[in-house]
Structure 1
Amino acid sequence: MQRFFRLFWVLMLLAAGWGAPAQAQTNGEQTTTARVVWGTYAELPAASGTTRKVPTFRGAYHAPGETVGTLTLRLPGTLAAGTLRDAVYEAFSAPDAALLGVA
């Protein structure tokens, strides 16, 4: 009977040890804020071999063939899923919209 209780307590301690790391990883929702302000211009290669001036923002990445920049955020920890919420887009001025070809 004494061996049974020892085995029981060892199994309980192992189960508690496995449960603790899983509980520590559930931190809940974390948020970050980013603001993109149009205010500068980029010279991008055009299809004709020349360059094209387009409105952009600080920190933008332009992939080949793209005229609108991409924003990349570095977040601490491991991210399993992300959501963009409460996005407010600043309107282009008419001359900037013409540069993008959307006027």
Structure 2
Amino acid sequence: MAADDLEPTRSSMDLGVVLAAVADPLRRQVVHELVLSEDGVERTCASFGLPVSKSTRSHHFRVLREAGLVKQVDHGNFSGVTLRRADIHSRFPGLLELISADLPTE
């Protein structure tokens, strides 16, 4: 199944699911780092340096993808992830700013 099949549409993004996704500090850090990047920047999942196993890292990105916060693309031997910035701003105005305000800049 393609990752696109698992991402909710903008209108079906659920606030409770989104808040549950960013309740975890590692997932919140991922979103924060993507917020600080230029719009449309794609990063590899490994580039975030999460201090967890590969399977746990995959789980964190699946939760973010299924909540609608990120778009994940499989490139064969790695996955690229981008922030769904426009969808999040449209559906939940101010949410990304709140997430960013909660974490210190690097």
Question: Under a length normalisation based on structure 2, what TM-score does the superposition of the two structures give?
Answer: 0.25
Pick the structure with greater CA Rg: 1
Q: Higher helix share goes to which structure? A: 2
Question: Under a length normalisation based on structure 1, what TM-score does the superposition of the two structures give?
Answer: 0.26
